[in-house]
C-alpha cells in the first residue's frame, strides 16, 4: 500500500541538510519513503492530510529512558549516600534483591516504550537503572524486551546491560567499589548470545548492541572482550563515560589513565562507540588531570557523544559546550535518560545551556539541536537511512500538531516547537511504514491502565530504595517535599 501524508510543513532532506517544504507531501510504501515534496505524480492508496502540522523525521534517542524513572528521586532529596540511591554496606550485607518480578521488569519497558513513541521517538537505545537489580540484566529478560519492541513497533537497539562491579556507600558515607568479575563476564556471554539470536529480528526493527553499564564498574577483561565482540560483529557499544568527576578520578586511580585514555588503549574508542555523556574530560576544572589529551582523543576517534542535557542541568552540570564540540567535528546525538522522555525538551534545554556557557546566541542554533536528534543519532548508529525524510530512507515519520494554544501564533513550525512545544504534541508516528500512533494515542495501548500499573510499581521501587539505605536512616523520609505538609512533623 502506498500512503501519502501531507501537512502545512514538511521537513525534508536535500542530501546535505534538512529543508522545509510548505504544504508538502511525504509518500511511502512498505518501510521506505518514495517521495518528499509537492504534487506526487503517481497513484496512492491512502491520503492523510494533517493540516496545520509539521511532518518530520522521527527522533533518535541514544540514551532512551527504558524505565519507570528513579532518577527523579535524586532531585532535591539529599545525598545519594543517605537516600539509598547507592547500595549501602548494610544492604550488601543483607543481600541485594530485584525490586520487580520478571513480569514487572518487562512492564517497565512497556511503559517506557509507549512514552517514547508518544513523544515522537522512533529509534531508541534504552537505558535502565541497575541499582534496583540484584545485579544486572540477562538474556531471558531481553527476549521479552525484543518481542515488546516488535509488538509496539518501536525501532530499538537492544542488549542486556552487564557489569563487573558497582559503586556503593561505605559506613563512613564515602564511595567504594564492589567487584564480581565472573558475574560480569557471564553477563557479556548472555549479551553476545542475545546479539547473535536477535540482531535483525522483527523485520529489522530490533538490532543488537553491547551495553556495559558504566566505565568505572567494568574490569579490563570485560572491556577487552567487549571490544573484540564489537569488532567481530561490527556492533555498536554504548558505554556511559565521562559523566562525573567521581568516575574520572576512580578510573584514573584504578587504571592509571583517564576514562577516554583507557578506552583508547582497550580498542573501544572508535566509530562504533556511543558515549553518554562526554562531559568530564582531562582539563575539566573538577578533575585532577590537566591538559587537552582527552579532547584530542575525542576529536580523532570518530566516537559519538550522546548528549543528555536535561538530566545534568538539574544538578547544575552541563556539557561545555555543545557548540564547541560540534565545531571540533565531534558527532553529537541526543538522549533523554530521565523523565520526561521528551527530546523536544532536551533540545530546548540543550540550546539554552549551550548559549549560557558560550555567552552568545551565535555559536549554537536550533538547527544544531534538531540535527543532533535526527542526523547525529543516525550517524552514531552508522545508518544513512534514518533521521531524514528522503527517497530510500526508512519510513520513520512523526507528525507534530501546531494547533495547540500553548504554541502561540505559528510563525515558524520548528521555532514554535522549540520555544513552547513538548514531545506530547506529537500527533502521529509511523515506524518502518507502520502507523504506531494516531490522533495522539499509541495504537493498542490503554494509557489509564498503563499508568495505574506504573503507579503500583513505583511504590515497589520506593520500597527497594528505602531498603538500600543504612539501618540508621530507615525511618527518615525518603522524598523531601518542596514545602512541608501542613500538620506533619
Q: Do 308 and 246 have their domain in common?
A: yes
Mean pLDDT for 470-481 is: 87
The pLDDT value recorded for residue 79 is 87
**Distant-in-sequence, close-in-space partners of 258: CB < 8 Å, separation ≥ 6:** 248, 251, 252, 281, 282, 289, 293, 294
Mean pLDDT for 301-320 is: 97
Q: Do 82 and 112 have their domain in common?
A: yes
The pLDDT value recorded for residue 478 is 87
Residue 173 sits at the vertex; the CA angle it makes with 168 and 177, to the nearest 5 degrees, is: 25
Q: Do 20 and 86 have their domain in common?
A: no
Mean pLDDT for 255-275 is: 97
The pLDDT value recorded for residue 489 is 63
pLDDT tens column, 398-426: 999 999 999 999 999 999 999 999 999 99
Whether 154 is covered by a domain: the verdict is: yes
- Paired strand residues for 438: 441
Q: Would you say residue 480 has pLDDT above 80?
A: yes
Whether 472 is covered by a domain: the verdict is: no
Q: What is the DSSP string of 289-335?
A: --SSHHHHHHHHH--EEEE-HHHHHTTT---TTHHHHHHTT-EEEE-
Mean pLDDT for 281-292 is: 95
- Paired strand residues for 175: 169
Q: Do 6 and 128 have their domain in common?
A: no
Asked if residue 59 lies in contact with residue 44, where contact means CB atoms within 8 angstroms, the answer is no
Structural domain of residue 245, as residue ranges?
A: 59-385
Q: Do 209 and 101 have their domain in common?
A: yes
Q: Would you say residue 454 has pLDDT above 70?
A: yes
Mean pLDDT for 277-295 is: 96
Mean pLDDT for 271-295 is: 96
Measure the CA–CA gap between 317 and 311, rounded to whole angstroms: 9
Measure the CA–CA gap between 125 and 378, rounded to whole angstroms: 12
Mean pLDDT for 363-383 is: 98
Q: Would you say residue 264 has pLDDT above 80?
A: yes
Whether 462 is covered by a domain: the verdict is: no
Q: Do 380 and 392 have their domain in common?
A: no
CATH number at residue 30: 2.30.40.10
Q: Do 165 and 86 have their domain in common?
A: yes
CA distances from 264 to 293, 299, 345, 380 (A): 11, 12, 33, 18
The pLDDT value recorded for residue 433 is 98
pLDDT tens column, 190-231: 999 999 999 999 999 999 999 999 999 999 999 999 999 999
Continuous segment of H or E residues that includes residue 246: helix 245-255
The domain total for the chain is 2
Q: Do 44 and 174 have their domain in common?
A: no
Q: Do 392 and 274 have their domain in common?
A: no
Calculate the average pLDDT of the chain: 96
Whether 153 is covered by a domain: the verdict is: yes
Q: Would you say residue 311 has pLDDT above 80?
A: yes
Whether 37 is covered by a domain: the verdict is: yes
Whether 287 is covered by a domain: the verdict is: yes
Kindly indicate the confidence band of residue 487, based on its pLDDT and cuts at 50, 70 and 90.
confident
CA distances from 161 to 109, 136, 191, 226, 302 (A): 14, 6, 8, 12, 23
Q: Would you say residue 77 has pLDDT above 80?
A: yes
Residue 425 C-alpha cell reads as: 504534541
- Paired strand residues for 179: 165
> Quick one: DSSP state of residue 480?
P
CATH number at residue 122: 3.20.20.140
Whether 313 is covered by a domain: the verdict is: yes
**What are the backbone angles phi and psi of residue 424, rounded to the nearest 5°?**
-75, 5
Task: Report the share of the chain in percent with pLDDT over 90.
Answer: 95
Q: Of 70 and 146, which is predicted with more confidence?
A: 146
Q: Would you say residue 78 has pLDDT above 90?
A: no
| HSE, side-chain direction, 13 A CA sphere, residue 343 | 35
> Quick one: DSSP state of residue 485?
P
Measure the CA–CA gap between 388 and 380, rounded to whole angstroms: 14
Q: Do 46 and 77 have their domain in common?
A: no
Amino acid at each position: 500500500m502506498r500512503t501519502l501524508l501531507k501537512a502545512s510543513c514538511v521537513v525534508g532532506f536535500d542530501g546535505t541538510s534538512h529543508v522545509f517544504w510548505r504544504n508538502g507531501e511525504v509518500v511511502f510504501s512498505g518501510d521506505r519513503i518514495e517521495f518528499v515534496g509537492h504534487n506526487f505524480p503517481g497513484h496512492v492508496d491512502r491520503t492523510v492530510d494533517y493540516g496545520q502540522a509539521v511532518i518530520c523525521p522521527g527522533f533518535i534517542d541514544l540514551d532512551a529512558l527504558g524505565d519507570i524513572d528513579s532518577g527523579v528521586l535524586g532531585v532535591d532529596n539529599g545525598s545519594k549516600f543517605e537516600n539509598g540511591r547507592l547500595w549501602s554496606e548494610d544492604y550488601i550485607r543483607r543481600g541485594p534483591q530485584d525490586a520487580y518480578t520478571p513480569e514487572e521488569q518487562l512492564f517497565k519497558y512497556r511503559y517506557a516504550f509507549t512514552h517514547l513513541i508518544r513523544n515522537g521517538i522512533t529509534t531508541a537505545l534504552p537505558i535502565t537503572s541497575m541499582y534496583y537489580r540484584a545485579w544486572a540484566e540477562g538474556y531471558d529478560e531481553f527476549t521479552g524486551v525484543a518481542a515488546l519492541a516488535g509488538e509496539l513497533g518501536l525501532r530499538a537497539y537492544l542488549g542486556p546491560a552487564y557489569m563487573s562491579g558497582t559503586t556503593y556507600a561505605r559506613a563512613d558515607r564515602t564511595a567504594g567499589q564492589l567487584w564480581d568479575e565472573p558475574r560480569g563476564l557471564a553477563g557479556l556471554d548472555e549479551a553476545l548470545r542475545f546479539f547473535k539470536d536477535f540482531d535483525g529480528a522483527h523485520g529489522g526493527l530490533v538490532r543488537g548492541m553491547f551495553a556495559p553499564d558504566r566505565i568505572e564498574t567494568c574490569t579490563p577483561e570485560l572491556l577487552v572482550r567487549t571490544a573484540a565482540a564489537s569488532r567481530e560483529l561490527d556492533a555498536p557499544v554504548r558505554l556511559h563515560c565521562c559523566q562525573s568527576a567521581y568516575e574520572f578520578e576512580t578510573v584514573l586511580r584504578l587504571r592509571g589513565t583517564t576514562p577516554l585514555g583507557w578506552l583508547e588503549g582497550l580498542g573501544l574508542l572508535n566509530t562504533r562507540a556511543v558515549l553518554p555523556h562526554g562531559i568530564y574530560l582531562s582539563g575539566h576544572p573538577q578533575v585532577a588531570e590537566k591538559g587537552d589529551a582527552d579532547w584530542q582523543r575525542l576529536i580523532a576517534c570518530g566516537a559519538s557523544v550522546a548528549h543528555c542535557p536535561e538530566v545534568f542541568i538539574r544538578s547544575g552540570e552541563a556539557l561545555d559546550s555543545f557548540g564547541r564540540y560540534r565545531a571540533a567535528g565531534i558527532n553529537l546525538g541526543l538522549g533523554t535518560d530521565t523523565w520526561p522522555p521528551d527530546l523536544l525538551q532536551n533540545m530546548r534545554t540543550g540550546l539554552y545551556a549551550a548559549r549560557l556557557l558560550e555567552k552568545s546566541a551565535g555559536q549554537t542554533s536550533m538547527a544544531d539541536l534538531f540535527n543532533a536528534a535526527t542526523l547525529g543519532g543516525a550517524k552514531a548508529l552508522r545508518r544513512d537511512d534514518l533521521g531524514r525524510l528522503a527517497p530510500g530512507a526508512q519510513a520513520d515519520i512523526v507528525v507534530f500538531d501546531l494547533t495547540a494554544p500553548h504554541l502561540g501564533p505559528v510563525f515558524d513550525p520548528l521555532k514554535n516547537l522549540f520555544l513552547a512545544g513538548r514531545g506530547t504534541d506529537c500527533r502521529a508516528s509511523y515506524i518502518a511504514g507502520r502507523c504506531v500512533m494516531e490522533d495522539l494515542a499509541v495504537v493498542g495501548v490503554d494509557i489509564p491502565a498503563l499508568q495505574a500499573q506504573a503507579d503500583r510499581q513505583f511504590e515497589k521501587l520506593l520500597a527497594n530504595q528505602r531498603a538500600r539505605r543504612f539501618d540508621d536512616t530507615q525511618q527518615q523520609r525518603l522524598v523531601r517535599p518542596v514545602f512541608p505538609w501542613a500538620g506533619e512533623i
